[in-house]
Structure 1
Amino acid sequence: MPLPTVEHETRPAPEWAVIWLHGLGADGNDFAPIVPELVDPAWPGIRFVFPHAPVRPVTVNNGVPMRAWYDIKGLAIADKQDAEGIRLSIDEVEQLIAREQERGVPASRIVLAGFSQGGAMTLSAGLRHRETLAGLLVLSAYLPLHDTIEAERAGANHATPIFWGHGVADPVVPLALGEQSKQLLETLGHRIDWHTYPMGHQVSLPEIGDIRAWLGGIFGAV
C-alpha cells in the first residue's frame, strides 16, 4: 500500500505528476505551500504528490523516532549508510510512481523531486527506475549508495534531465559532498543542470525561480 500523501491538483484530471519527497524529520506538508509559487497558469494539469516518509528511529537523533526515508548513523551524513533503509524507501517510491500510472499518468510525465534526504531518495529511486521519467529535481542533497549506482542504474533514465540546487553554506549536506555526487554522475554520462545559491540548508526565492523555469521546460516538452 502506498504511503499517505498530501496532494494538490492544479486542474481536474491532471496529465502530469510531481512526486516531492521531504527531508529528515519533516512530512508531506513541508513543501505543499510551494505549489502556488511554482505553478504557471499556462502549464498543463499537474498533480503534486507530497508523501509522508515512514516513522523510524534515527541514530543521530539519539534513536528517537521521526519521519525519515532511511537512518542517519554517523555525524557526517554519508557515513555508515543505511543501505537496507534506502532500498526499502526505493520500493516505497516505486509504489508511488505505480499509483500515478494507475491514475493515468505515464512514467514519462512524472517528475521525482526531493529536498535533502528526499533529494537523495529522488536520485536513488529515479536513476534505478526501469521506465523513463520526465525529470529529477534534487535540492540540497547527495547520492547515497554511490558505489553501486553504475551497476544498478537503469538505461531508461541515463538521459533524464536533472536539476540540482545546493547552498554554498549548507551545514547539513556540505557543498563538497553534493559536488562529488554530481561529478560522479557526470562521469557516468548524466546531464546535470547544476545551480548554487548563497544560502544554507534551505530553499531560496531565486532557487524557486530557477525550478519554475526548469519545470516549465519539462512540461512544455510534449
Structure 2
Amino acid sequence: MSVFDAPEHKCTVIWLHGLGDSGEGFAPVAAHLNLPAELGVKFLFPHAPVQAVTINGGMEMRAWYDIKSLDLDKRADAQGVQQSAQSISALIDEQIAAGIPADKIILAGFSQGGVIALHLAPRYHHKLAGVMALSTYMSEPERLTDEARHRDLNIFMAHGDFDNVVPLEAGKQAYTYLQNEGMNVSWQSYAMAHQVCDAELHAIRQWLLERLS
C-alpha cells in the first residue's frame, strides 16, 4: 500500500485503483491536490490482489475482482466484489480504531476501484464523509434497495465523455440508481477518455475541502 502522510492525521482518503494498476498509480494525486496541511489528510492507496482476469486471457494482474464478460450486467464478478469490499471494510475499521471518525473518512475509487467504493460505502456500518466514484459503474445495483444503510450518502461521480473502457452510459446508469435511492450524488463529465484530467482534479479538490473542512 502506498501512503501519503499528514503531519497531524485528522482525516483519511482511501483511494482504490483500477484494473492492472497498483496503489502507486494514483499516489502522485495526493500531492497534486495540495490540500491545506491543517486539514491533516492522510491518503492510503491500497493494492488490489494479483489474480487471473478472464477477459485478458487469464493473465494475472492486480484486480479487485475478475471480469468474465464486457456486458455491463455481467462485468463484475459479484463474489470478487464482495471479497474486496470486505478487505477495504477492514481497512476502514483500522482507521476508525486509530481514532479517525467515520465522518472524516472518504472512500474513492477509479474504474474497478469505483465499483468497490460504490458497493461498500452505502452498506458500511458507519456513514462515511463521502465517496468519489470515478469512471466507474455498479455491481448488482438492484440489490442496493434492500441492502443500503445510508441513503443520504454524499457521492461525487465523474466520467469521461469518450471513455472506451467503461462507457459513459454505464456511469450515468449508476448515477440514476443512486439518485433513485435518495443519495446525495453529483455528476460531472469531462472531454477525456478512461482517465483523470486536471479539471476533474480541481473539482475533486473543492469537493474534498467541503467534505473534510
Equivalent of 2:183 in 182, 190, 197: 190
State how many pairs are aligned: 213
Q: Within 1, Cα distance between the matches of 2:156 and 2:40?
A: 21
Shift of 1:77: 4.6
Letter in 1 for 2:202: G
TM-score normalised by length of structure 2: 0.96
Counterpart-to-counterpart distance in 1, 2:37 and 2:2: 23
* CA 1:183–1:139: 2 relative to 1, 3 Å: same
Determine the C-alpha separation between the residues in 1 that align with 2:174 and 2:75: 17
1:130-149 equivalent positions in 2, closer than 5 A: 130-149=125-144
Give structure 2 stretches of 5+ with no counterpart. Answer: none
1:123 matched residue in structure 2:
118
1:43–1:219 Cα contact (<8 Å) kept: no
Contact 1:16 1:45 (C-alpha < 8 Å) held by counterparts = yes
Partner residue, 1:21: 16
Say whether 1:41 aligns with 2:22.
no
TM-score w.r.t. structure 1 length?
0.92
In the TM superposition, residue 8 of structure 1 has moved relative to its aligned partner by: 1.1
Deviation at 1:106, TM superposition (A): 1.3
- Give the % identical residues: 41
Distance 1:79 1:65 in 2: 20
Instruction: Give the C-alpha shift of residue 120 in structure 1.
Output: 0.8
Post-superposition Cα deviations, 1:56-84, rounded to whole Å, max 9, x if no partner, equal 11001101111100011112354253111
Residue in structure 1 matched with residue 63 of structure 2 by the alignment: 68
| Contact 1:77 1:172 (8 Å CA) reproduced | no
C-alpha distance in 1 between matches for 2:75 and 2:31: 38
Question: For the Cα contact (< 8 Å) 2:107–2:121, is it kept in 1?
Answer: yes
1:160 CA drift (Å) = 1.9
